[in-house]
């Protein structure tokens, strides 16, 4: 299959330093609100890239659940592949790609677990099916069949019928505290706009333009 000639022409917008907020969290919030206004499908979908202590990388799509000036929060099974890798190597990268707006945001930084109270508060507002799924899935472990998983879910539905479902001890949240942000806007002729924020020792942000 020839794919080398499948190239999109980017022409929606540009990204200039003069229009950029000095705070990357504010800038991200502006872009995120624009994705919501554009009715994009799951605008909070993001790639999470992690690595083992030996530097072997892995990546997967997950969902962002909240963000503020302290960082970006997501939830998962602590015993999953990403959970094990974050325990070995807490440095990770997030990538948001909003194709319809010809935009990408890359965020890298250190990841730490959120408090147990925060994880439990979020777990309580999840749909019941998602709560049971967290108990039923030993994420990233080999299972014999789809039926095995569905039978486990049926058992959990019976066990917790008319009962509050507790937060699994092996499940909870992580917060990535950014050290750099890169905002990317597609432009014609592959001369894309790339503007990077780097956190300085005094917690101010240095903004630099990168060559595409």
Active-site amino acid positions: 190
Spatial CA neighbour of 176 closest among 85, 35, 28, 48: 48
Contacts of 202 (CB under 8 A, 6+ apart): none
- C-alpha to C-alpha distance for 16 and 104, rounded to whole angstroms: 15
How many whole angstroms separate alpha carbon 128 and alpha carbon 164? 9
The 3-state DSSP class for residue 145 equals coil
Q: What are the φ and ψ backbone dihedral angles of 45, each rounded to 5 degrees?
A: -70, 140
């Amino acid at each position: 299959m020839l794919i080398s000639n499948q190239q999109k022409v980017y022409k929606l917008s540009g990204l200039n330093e003069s229009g950029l907020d000095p705070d990357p969290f504010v800038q991200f919030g502006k872009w995120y609100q624009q994705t919501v206004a554009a009715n994009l499908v799951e605008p909070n979908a993001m790639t999470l890239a992690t690595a083992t202590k030996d530097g072997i990388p892995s990546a997967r799509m997950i969902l962002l659940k909240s963000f503020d000036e302290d960082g970006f929060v997501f939830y998962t099974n602590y015993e999953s592949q990403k959970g094990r890798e974050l325990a070995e190597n807490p440095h990770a990268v997030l990538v948001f790609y909003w194709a319809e707006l010809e935009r990408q945001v890359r965020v890298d930084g250190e990841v730490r677990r959120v408090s147990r109270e925060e994880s439990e508060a979020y777990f309580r507002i999840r749909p019941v099916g998602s709560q049971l799924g967290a108990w039923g899935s030993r994420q990233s472990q080999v299972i014999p069949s789809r039926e095995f998983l569905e039978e486990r879910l049926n058992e959990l539905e019976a066990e917790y019928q008319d009962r509050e479902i507790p937060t699994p001890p092996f499940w909870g949240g992580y917060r990535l505290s950014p050290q750099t942000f890169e905002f990317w806007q597609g432009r014609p002729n592959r001369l894309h706009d790339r503007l990077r924020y780097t956190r300085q020792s005094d917690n101010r942000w240095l903004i630099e333009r990168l060559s595409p």
